[in-house]
Amino acid sequence: MNLTSDMEARAKEAPDRTGLIFEDGREFTFKEVEELSSRSANFLKSLNIQKGSRVGIYIQNSPEFVMIMYGLWKIGAVLVPINIMYQVKELRHAITSTGIDIICTTPRNMKEIEKVRDFINTVILIGNKDDEYKDAIDYDKGILDASPVCDSFSPDEKDEASILFTGGTTGVPKAVITTHSGWYETLTNLARGLRGYPGPYPIEKPGTPPNIMAFPLFHSGGQQSFLFAYHVGRTVVLMERFRVEKYVELVEKYRISSLVLMPTMIHDLVTYEGPIDFSFVRSLLSIGQELPHELRKSFENRFNIPILMNYGSTEAGHVAGWSLKDVRAGMWKPGSVGKIYKGVEIEIRDENDKKIPPGEPGEICVKTKVTVNGYTDQKKDNKLLIKNGWLYMGDIGYLDDDNVLFLVGRKREMIKCGGFQVWPQELEDILSKHPKIKDVAVIGAPDERLGEIPKAFVVLKEKPFLTSQEEGLKKEIIDYCRDNIAHFKAIRAVKFIDQIPRSDTGKILKPKLKETDQKEQR
C-alpha cells in the first residue's frame, strides 16, 4: 500500500472538505492537497527524480513539506527529512550517510546548505521570491507548469518510503530505512489499538474536530501523526513547530478533542501560567519517551483528561499501547505502557539471548514488518540490533501474564553499583515526586569503591536563597530517595542545574550530563 493512499481516498470521498489547515491560516481542501501533491510529483519527475531516488527535505513543517512528501511517494522516490536544527557536522553526516545529492530547502536555511554545497548537486528552493540564489531550482515556479494529475505507483514489500534519523541519546543518529508496506502496517496497528477495531475507516462526519500536529515532520512521530489523521478520515491542523501559547490557541479555536504530545510538551502545558480551556478534549496520547508519573498526575489533575501511553521506536514502529476503550473497560494497568498490538511479536530475553518467562525483566525484542531494510550504514550496528528479523530495542522491561508490557529502563543506562543493577528510570520516577523537584535525571558516576554510584541532576522549582542551604537540601533529597527505595539503589550524590539537556525529540541527553560530571571531577 502506497502511503499516499489515504490522502487520495479522502480527496475522492470529500474533495471539497478542508484537509489541511496551517497555523498561519492557510487552508487546503483534500482535493487541493491531492492536486498540489501531484504537481510536486510531476515537477520532481521533470528533474529526473524517479523511483528509488533519495531526496532530502531540510525545512520546518509547512504545507510545502506535505506536498513534496506525498509527491515523492507518488513517484516512488525516497523521502529523507533532515532535522532543521542540525548544524554543519550533523547535516553533512545526514547527507553522506544516506547518499542524497538533491535537497529541498528555503532561503532562511541556505546559510547552512551553502556550507555543505560540495555534497549536493541540486538545491530546490521553496519561496525564493527575490531570486537571490540563481543556481537553485525554483519550486514555486516549477509546480505552476506541472500537471495536477499523477497516479501513484504500487510498492512491493521492499520499496523504501522514508529514511528517518533516530532521536538517539548517544552517538550519531542512525538513518533508519522504512518501507511503504512496513510504515503503513504500523499505522494500521496504531489505529486499531487506539480505536479498538480494525479499519478501513470512513471519512469523519462534517463538523468533526480536526487533529492537531505539533511534531516535526522530520521525526517519525510527526509523520505517523500526520498519516494517522488521514487514515482515520480527519483534517489536520499543522503547526510549524510547537510553542505552548500557539498550541493552546489552536486547540481552543478548533475545539480539538484528541491530543498527541511528547512529555516535554506535556510539561510545558502543565507549567503554563496562562488560562487554558481543554474542557472539550477527551484524551491525550503520550509518545516519544517515558512519561514521569508525577508529570502524568499533574496533567490529569489540572485538566481532568486521561493520558494514554504508546511504546515503539523509529525502527520498530508502534509496539504497545492503550486505547480509551481499554481505559473505560477497566483493562488499563498502572505503570504499564500497554497491550501488544496485533501483528507485533515480542520476546523478553536475558543476557544469554534466551527467552525468559513473564514477570522477569530483560531486553525487549520485537519483530514487525517495519524495518525490513535496517540502516543505511553502520553494518556492525545492524548485526547487533537486528538478528534474524528480531529488533533488540535496548530497553529493559517485562510482560505480565496478560501480555501487558512494563518498562524498567534503558539497557545501556543501567548502573552497576557494588555489583547490583540499578535503573535510573526507577530513581527518576521516585525523585520526580519530591515537592521541591521540577525535573530530574540520574546517571552512573564513577566511584573507586563501588564502581559506579547513582547521581541525580536536579532542577529545583525554587532555588535556595543561600548557597549554604544547598547541602542541606541535597541531604534531604538523598534521604527522601532512601526512604522510598532499597538503600543499595538510592542516589548517593546530587547536582543542582538550571536545565536538563534534551534532544529535539525530548529524550534526556545523559552523555552530556556524564561529560559535565567528568569535567568537574578532573
Q: Domains in the chain, please, with CATH?
A: 5-241 (3.40.50.12780), 306-411 (2.30.38.10), 414-521 (3.30.300.30)
Task: Give the angle subtended at the CA of 399 by the CAs of 398 and 401, to the nearest 5°.
Answer: 140
Strand-pair partners of 29: 18
Which grid coordinates belong to 352?
A: 544469554
**Mean pLDDT, to the nearest integer, of 45-60?**
96
Question: Which one, of 135, 99, 141, lies nearest residue 114 by Cα?
Answer: 135
Which grid coordinates belong to 345?
A: 511479536
**Are the C-beta atoms of residues 383 and 371 closer than 8 Å to each other?**
no
pLDDT number for residue 279: 95
When pLDDT is cut at 50, 70 and 90, the band that residue 372 belongs to is very low
Q: Is the pLDDT of residue 275 over 90?
A: yes
Residue 364: how many CA atoms within 13 Å on its side-chain side? 28
First to last CA, the chain: 56
Q: Is the pLDDT of residue 136 over 50?
A: yes
Residue 184 host element (H or E): helix 180-195
pLDDT number for residue 30: 98
Distances (CA, A) of 426 to 111, 217, 253, 358, 443: 43, 32, 39, 20, 12
pLDDT in tens, 295-307: 888 899 999 988 8
Backbone angles phi, psi at 2, to 5 degrees: -70, 140
pLDDT number for residue 241: 93
Angle between helices 30-46 and 5-13 (to 10 degrees): 130
Q: Count how many residues are written for the chain.
A: 522
DSSP for 216-284, written as a single string = -TTSHHHHHHHHHHHHTT--EEE-SS--HHHHHHHHHHHT--EEEE-HHHHHHHHT--S----TT--EE
**Higher pLDDT among residues 70 and 395, named by residue:** 70
Q: Is the pLDDT of residue 504 over 70?
A: no
**Are the C-beta atoms of residues 248 and 277 closer than 8 Å to each other?**
no
Question: Exposed e or buried b for every residue in 58-78, given b needs 16+ CB within 10 A?
Answer: bbbbbbbbbbbbbbbbbbbbb
pLDDT number for residue 399: 95
Residue 386 host element (H or E): strand 386-387
Q: Is the pLDDT of residue 169 over 50?
A: no
Identify residue 260 by its one-letter amino acid code: V
Identify residue 180 by its one-letter amino acid code: H
**Are the C-beta atoms of residues 65 and 57 closer than 8 Å to each other?**
yes
pLDDT in tens, 374-413: 566 655 445 457 788 888 888 889 999 999 998 887 777 7
Backbone angles phi, psi at 241, to 5 degrees: -165, 160
- Distance, in Å, from the CA atom of 131 to the CA atom of 25, rounded to the nearest integer, reads 26
When pLDDT is cut at 50, 70 and 90, the band that residue 172 belongs to is low
**Higher pLDDT among residues 329 and 19, named by residue:** 19
User: Which three-class secondary structure state does DSSP give residue 191?
Assistant: helix
pLDDT in tens, 211-270: 999 999 998 888 999 999 999 999 999 999 999 999 999 999 999 999 999 887 898 899
**Number of neighbouring beta carbons within 10 Å of residue 326:** 18
Torsion of CA 454, 458, 464, 468, to 10 degrees: 30
CA 34, 159, 177, 351 torsion-angle sign: positive
Question: Which one, of 105, 211, 220, lies nearest residue 161 by Cα?
Answer: 220
Query: Which ranges in 304-371 belong to alpha helices (H)?
Result: 324-328
Contacts of 402 (CB under 8 A, 6+ apart): 333, 339
User: Which three-class secondary structure state does DSSP give residue 94?
Assistant: helix
pLDDT number for residue 429: 85
Pairing status of strand 437-447 against strand 420-422: unpaired
Query: Which ranges in 256-389 belong to alpha helices (H)?
Result: 263-270, 293-303, 324-328, 379-385
- Distance, in Å, from the CA atom of 61 to the CA atom of 157, rounded to the nearest integer, reads 28
Which residue in the block uniquely carries the three cell numbers 490522502? 7
Ramachandran region, residue 92 (left: φ > 0; alpha: ψ -120 to 50; beta: rest): alpha
Contacts of 26 (CB under 8 A, 6+ apart): 63
**Are the C-beta atoms of residues 28 and 19 closer than 8 Å to each other?**
yes
Which grid coordinates belong to 107?
A: 532561503
* Greatest Cα-to-Cα distance within the chain, rounded to the nearest angstrom: 72
